[in-house]
């Protein structure tokens, strides 16, 4: 049996819980979206833990360059200020894009889920009353994904693994002065 068939057999269970097709579709889509959110958050945590030393080095370099820039500004040394500021901007760009890439790592499961849904639900539309329009699986998944992300955001700090990761990230933010990662 191929991997895709195994995945299909597992995911379709979410869509067969109550026996009421429309209810099961929305419940299954929410559960699939929740699975995508949890998998994405787990991915972020693993990537962060693997890259923590690299991120520490980038943040240390940025802080050092910011201090040098301020010192050059206070001394009135325009040439040193310009050079340090240029390097600090480069370091900030590296930190920013590393954090951006880390945050983007949470999205890959959503695309995987949408690919699976396309195979299962491509021809199904839900009519919007009084408009003559219909929405498809992409629209319903996005709505469910937003709701699942909101739900998970409220409960993740109470879950053992994510609580530990959250505490690690809070300590990291306090030490590095950077914005939120997860």
Q: Give the total number of structural domains in the chain.
A: 1
* Domain assignment of residue 163, yes or no: yes
* Domain assignment of residue 78, yes or no: yes
Report pLDDT digits (tens) over 146-175. 999 999 999 998 998 888 887 777 777 676
* Domain assignment of residue 9, yes or no: no
* Domain assignment of residue 166, yes or no: yes
* Domain assignment of residue 89, yes or no: yes
Cα–Cα distance for residue pair 122/30, rounded to 1 Å: 17
| Mean pLDDT on 82-103 | 86
Using pLDDT thresholds of 50, 70 and 90, give the confidence band for residue 112: very high
Q: Which domain holds residue 64?
A: 17-176
Report the C-alpha dihedral over residues 150, 155, 157, 161, rounded to 10 degrees: -110
Q: pTM for this one?
A: 0.79
């Amino acid at each position: 049996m191929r991997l895709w068939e195994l995945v299909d057999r597992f995911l379709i269970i979410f869509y067969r819980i109550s026996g009421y097709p429309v209810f099961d579709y929305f419940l299954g889509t929410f559960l699939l979206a929740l699975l995508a959110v949890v998998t994405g958050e787990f991915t972020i945590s693993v990537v962060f833990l693997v890259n923590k030393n690299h991120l520490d080095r980038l943040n240390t370099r940025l802080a050092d360059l910011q201090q040098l820039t301020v010192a050059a500004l206070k001394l009135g040394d325009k040439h040193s200020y310009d050079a340090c500021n240029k390097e600090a901007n480069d370091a900030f760009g590296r930190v920013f894009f590393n954090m951006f890439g880390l945050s983007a790592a949470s999205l890959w499961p959503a695309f995987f889920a949408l690919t699976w849904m396309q195979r299962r639900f491509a021809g199904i539309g839900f009519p919007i009353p009084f408009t003559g329009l219909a929405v498809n699986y992409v629209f319903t998944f996005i709505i469910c994904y937003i709701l699942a992300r909101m739900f998970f955001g409220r409960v993740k700090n109470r879950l053992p693994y994510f609580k530990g990761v959250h505490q690690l990230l809070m300590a990291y933010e306090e030490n590095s002065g950077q914005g939120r990662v997860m």
